[in-house]
């Protein structure tokens, strides 16, 4: 069942947050519909739990010592939004990283049917710079 109050939605966001520390890929994937649609940052759209599992496994391998904080922003009908901040160490380079993002979850039967996410990252010690952010 989808959350119907801000309190229920906030509890769901905190539960999902907990699944990243440490990574619980099985539980993360189980929170999505079998036919889910994912639009994440600049990645091409992908669909289904198999592709989602690959996505999470790839992130788990790349993002060492991942620490995440998610905050609910809205709940309207079957749609929730949250913002997140995270830190991790890049597994290949050892560089400390930081990120910030916004997510939209469209729920069906208590599971995520559509996940849309803006995902911004940079080295943790990098100062904010619009030109650098834009490449």
pLDDT tens figures, 79-103: 999 999 999 999 999 999 999 999 9
Residue 13, burial from CB neighbour count under 10 angstroms (0-12, 13-18, 19+): buried
pLDDT at 127: 75
CATH of the domain at 88: 3.10.450.50
Task: Indicate the DSSP class of residue 127.
Answer: P
pLDDT at 134: 65
- Select from 11, 135, 133 the least CA-distant residue to 71: 11
**No. of helices (H) and no. of strands (E), the chain:** 4, 6
Q: Residue with structure tokens 């790349």?
A: 62
pLDDT at 96: 97
Q: Is residue 110 part of a domain?
A: yes
Alpha carbon 6 to its chain's center: 19
pLDDT, average across residues 6-30 = 98
* Total number of residues shown for the chain: 135
pLDDT over 80 at 1, yes or no: yes
- Band of the pLDDT at 78, cuts 50, 70, 90? very high
Return phi, psi of residue 109, to 5°.
55, 35
Domain count, the chain: 1
Q: Is residue 89 part of a domain?
A: yes
Is the CB of residue 121 less than 8 Å from the CB of residue 98?
Answer: yes
Q: Is residue 135 part of a domain?
A: no
Q: Is residue 59 part of a domain?
A: yes
Domain that holds residue 17: 6-125
Q: Is residue 131 part of a domain?
A: no
Q: What angle do CA 80, 104, 6 make, to 5 degrees?
A: 15
pLDDT over 70 at 133, yes or no: no
pLDDT, average across residues 57-82 = 98
The model's pLDDT over 19-62, given as tens digits with 9 standing for 90+, comes to 999 999 999 999 999 999 999 999 999 999 999 999 999 999 99
Tokens linked to 36? 């889910």
């Amino acid at each position: 069942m989808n959350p119907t109050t801000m309190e229920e939605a906030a509890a769901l966001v905190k539960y999902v947050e907990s699944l990243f520390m440490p990574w619980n890929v099985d539980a993360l994937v189980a929170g999505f519909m079998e036919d889910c649609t994912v639009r994440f940052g600049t990645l091409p759209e992908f669909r289904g739990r198999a592709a989602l599992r690959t996505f999470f496994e790839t992130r788990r391998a790349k993002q060492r010592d991942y620490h995440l904080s998610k905050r609910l922003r809205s709940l309207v009908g079957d749609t929730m939004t949250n913002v997140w901040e995270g830190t991790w160490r890049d597994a290949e380079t050892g560089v400390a990283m930081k990120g910030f993002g916004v997510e939209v979850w469209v729920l069906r039967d208590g599971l995520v049917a559509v996940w849309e996410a803006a995902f911004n990252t940079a080295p943790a010690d990098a100062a904010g710079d619009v030109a650098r952010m834009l490449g």
